[in-house]
Structure 1
Amino acid sequence: MAGHISDRAVDAIAGLAREPRDPVSFWRACTAVVADVIPHYKSPCWLTVDPESLLVTGHFHEELRAVPPDWLATGYADDGAGRGLGMLKSGTGVTTLHEATGGDPTHSPRWHVNMRIGAHQEMLTRLGLPTGEVWGALGLYREQGTEMFTDADKGFLAAAAPYLAEGTRRAVLLGQASAASPPDAPAMVVLSEGWEIRSRTPGIEYWLADLPGGDPGAGQLPSALAAVAAHALHKARTPQSRDGSGPARARVMGRSGNWAVVHGSPLESSLDSPFDSSLGSSLGSSLDEGGERRVAVIVERARPQELFPILMSAYELTPRERDITRLVLDAATTAEIAQSLFISPHTVQQHLKNIFAKTGVRSRRALVGKVFSHA
């Protein structure tokens, strides 16, 4: 009987993934389905991540308006297999904090942060597609004294994860750019290790309000800024030879539908940094007074070439279709595309028909506009 319930739940999630929904609507609908199969504490935590760096770019939790920055920091701290990023990279795609820490999570900073909200157990599921791309994560929790998560629980989530990933990926495309345009120039914010804003440049207020999780009035940082800052600080402490994680960089779509690239780097005692000096000139001459470690996070409007991989994946284009789309964006003719890819002009046209159908356009010009409108 339990197996039939799980199978029906997976089918229900697969159906939800095919419907046009924004991320929150999709996750809310899936939460009700998951709860029928796996009892859990309070609400699940749904996360979006950059498929390339696996850095958190957004979150949804019914009872937490914002993910605490120190919770995100535990995902990138040097905490062995128990760190969140390591759990996302696990071979099965579904793991518990107890398993990741050898049965004793009390040594994990992540466990102590979870316990602040009464969560003794954590089970994290990677929302990955069969192609290997990861679009998010699902965290379920149980309080102390309750039954441990079981193999059956993990099996259900492993079966549902590709559909949860597909629905999340589809939802990413629903955002449409608003009339409000983001700043043209990069903006920067300097954060302390305690996640307090020490300095900022003009234009950053737009992103602090627009990126998911951000609420300047309440002093809440966007999830992506906190994740990038935490990862940058971790990389500064960890020699590159031992650190297999990706760059402190994430692509994220704001509430307005405008895409941004967020990247960060620790600051030293001077303004000698990899960033444009015009950004640093307004930050003052003392960036680490009192020995406080600080990290600079730059946010800038994403360029089409930066968004191309994530958008092409979201539209489910095949590798050949992506090659052709890239050449179309470079204004190549059908003959030039055929010559470049060693295929016939007729084959190019067939691929273009498929590309137009997947992206919902009818012409090359509309395809170019579709891609560029996201940047």
Structure 2
Amino acid sequence: MSADTFQRAAEKITRLCGEPRDLVTLWNESTEVLARAVPHYWTPCFYTLDPASLLMTSHFHRGLDEFPSEWLVSEYYSDDVNQLADVARSQSGISTLHEMTGGNPSSSPRWHRNMTMGGDQELVTRLRTRSGEVWGALALYREPKAPMFSDGEKHFVRTVAPLLAEGARAALLLGQAREPDFADSPGLLVLDHNCAVESTTPGVAQWLSELPDGDWEIGRLPSAVLTLAGRTLRAAEHSHSGDVTVVRVLSRTGTWVVLHGACLNSTGDRRIAIIIEPADPGRLYPLLMSAYGLTEREKDVTRLVLQGASTSQIAADLVLSAYTVQQHLKSIFDKTGVRSRRDLIGKVFFAHYEPRFRDNEQRVRNDQPIRGEPWLR
């Protein structure tokens, strides 16, 4: 493919990801662009991952409505290469099965699994935002005897991966705003080009009441919302990057709130979508506390184990000795009833993420928003 082809495809994905839309629509529309830039077998496989744990919360693959259970078992219990969490934590964030097996893919159980679907080559890349959060992964395949993925194709995939990550993040927020599951679910506020309120989702009034110097009762928007709207419009006027503007605001209750702004152009007149959410909406820590009674430090260690970190990496991240990490691991194993890190990862996934993974399959079939958090019911 030529550089112009890659550039045009990157610009199209930028536009797709810059305007909030539901996740399945984003994956479907991105599929069409990817097919022209990086020819591949059948269709891509998109995943969402929980940034806190790097465990899967959903997959989307045209023609594969239900992910085989044995594949999930293999992902979290087998000793293999090119697994999603490993790629997500890697320095490059991208790998191919052929490279990871030294040109001998048949040595990998993963290759044999892929071949049952007709896919010989596998390229996996993480979807990580520019702020460093991994929100998903993308896998592309090629049939036997097809050309290997080229350096130019891999460079293109690395280029668009942060855009797809931002798009996935916005889509998950939008789904929670439109059909909230939690008291602190995000809210969506749509303004016209004059910053007049056009529409809101449930819960927006509560969010706005917590921001300083606004008064929802008389229709006065907080200055943080108006400032973000202005920045979003200016960004849209001076750039085609589709970047989402973000601001962090201290609420009246003393907690931090994050506002995301994006320009909507679908009607011809520019409008501004603003999503409001808590600064730390992660569900993993409360889950680990309620399910297993882990201490704060044990939750930190567990999070890094789920991400695939080694003892030395955990020690460095948490500024602990290796001995202290091992003591924490012993306590975690006792509380969760497992004997190894792999068992811990498998237990947390199948107890708290696999139900969400299956629920999201049903949501896709029912045209409902995909959820990005672990199963909390």
Q: Retained in 1: the 8 A contact 2:50–2:57?
A: yes
Q: Which whole-Å deviations, capped at 9, do the CAs of 1:73-94 have from their partners, x for residues lacking one?
A: 2222342433333233221111
Give distance in 2, aligned partners of 1:258 and 1:111: 28
Q: Are 2:122 and 1:21 aligned?
A: no
Equivalent residue letter for 1:50:
D
Shift of 1:174: 2.2
Query: Partner residue of 2:141?
Result: 141
Secondary structure at 2:58's aligned position in 1? Answer: strand
Q: Are 2:316 and 1:240 aligned?
A: no
Equivalent residue letter for 2:39:
P
Q: Retained in 2: the 8 A contact 1:79–1:108?
A: no
Query: Partner residue of 2:120?
Result: 120
Q: Which whole-Å deviations, capped at 9, do the CAs of 1:275-306 have from their partners, x for residues lacking one?
A: xxxxxxxxxxxxxxxxxxxxxxxx533xxxxx
Q: Which whole-Å deviations, capped at 9, do the CAs of 1:146-189 have from their partners, x for residues lacking one?
A: 1011111110000000000011111002225899989xxxxxxx
Query: Partner residue of 2:97?
Result: 97
Give distance in 2, aligned partners of 1:163 and 1:180: 25
Query: Partner residue of 1:35?
Result: 35
Secondary structure at 1:57's aligned position in 2? Answer: strand
Query: Partner residue of 1:106?
Result: 106
Shift of 1:247: 5.0
Q: Retained in 2: the 8 A contact 1:82–1:108?
A: no
Shift of 1:246: 11
Equivalent residue letter for 2:48:
T
Give distance in 2, aligned partners of 1:12 and 1:153: 16
Give distance in 2, aligned partners of 1:257 and 1:150: 35
Give distance in 1, aligned partners of 2:50 and 2:372: 12
What TM-score do the two structures reach when normalised by structure 2?
Answer: 0.50
Give distance in 1, aligned partners of 2:370 and 2:59: 17
Query: Partner residue of 2:169?
Result: 169
Q: Which whole-Å deviations, capped at 9, do the CAs of 1:27-75 have from their partners, x for residues lacking one?
A: 1111111111111000111111111111111111111111112222222
Q: Retained in 2: the 8 A contact 1:87–1:100?
A: no
Query: Partner residue of 1:190?
Result: none
Equivalent residue letter for 1:120:
D
Change (3 A) 1:50 1:260: closer
Equivalent residue letter for 2:11:
D
Equivalent residue letter for 1:142:
R
Secondary structure at 2:118's aligned position in 1? Answer: coil
Query: Partner residue of 2:79?
Result: 79
Aligned Cα root-mean-square deviation (Å)? 3.4
Give distance in 2, aligned partners of 1:13 and 1:7: 10
Q: Retained in 2: the 8 A contact 1:127–1:161?
A: yes
Secondary structure at 2:26's aligned position in 1? Answer: helix
Change (3 A) 1:261 1:7: closer
Equivalent residue letter for 2:125:
T
Show structure 1 runs of 5+ residues with no match.
Answer: 183-227, 229-234, 263-298, 302-375
Query: Partner residue of 2:325?
Result: none
Give distance in 1, aligned partners of 2:137 and 2:61: 12
Give distance in 1, aligned partners of 2:342 and 2:51: 22
Give distance in 2, aligned partners of 1:173 and 1:159: 23
Q: Retained in 2: the 8 A contact 1:177–1:257?
A: no
Shift of 1:140: 0.5
Change (3 A) 1:236 1:14: farther
Change (3 A) 1:236 1:109: farther
Equivalent residue letter for 2:147:
E
Give distance in 1, aligned partners of 2:106 and 2:25: 35
Show structure 2 runs of 5+ residues with no match.
Answer: 183-305, 307-335
Give distance in 2, aligned partners of 1:259 and 1:163: 19
Shift of 1:96: 0.5
What TM-score do the two structures reach when normalised by structure 1?
Answer: 0.51
Secondary structure at 1:140's aligned position in 2? Answer: strand
Give distance in 2, aligned partners of 1:122 and 1:109: 13
Shift of 1:239: 2.8
Give distance in 2, aligned partners of 1:48 and 1:261: 10
Change (3 A) 1:107 1:180: same
Q: Retained in 2: the 8 A contact 1:21–1:174?
A: yes
Q: Retained in 1: the 8 A contact 2:50–2:373?
A: no
Query: Partner residue of 2:376?
Result: 300
Secondary structure at 1:135's aligned position in 2? Answer: strand
Change (3 A) 1:4 1:260: closer
Give distance in 1, aligned partners of 2:178 and 2:42: 34
Secondary structure at 1:65's aligned position in 2? Answer: coil
Equivalent residue letter for 1:6:
F
Larger RCO (alpha carbons 8 Å, 6+ apart): 2
Q: Retained in 2: the 8 A contact 1:53–1:247?
A: no
Give distance in 1, aligned partners of 2:69 and 2:87: 18
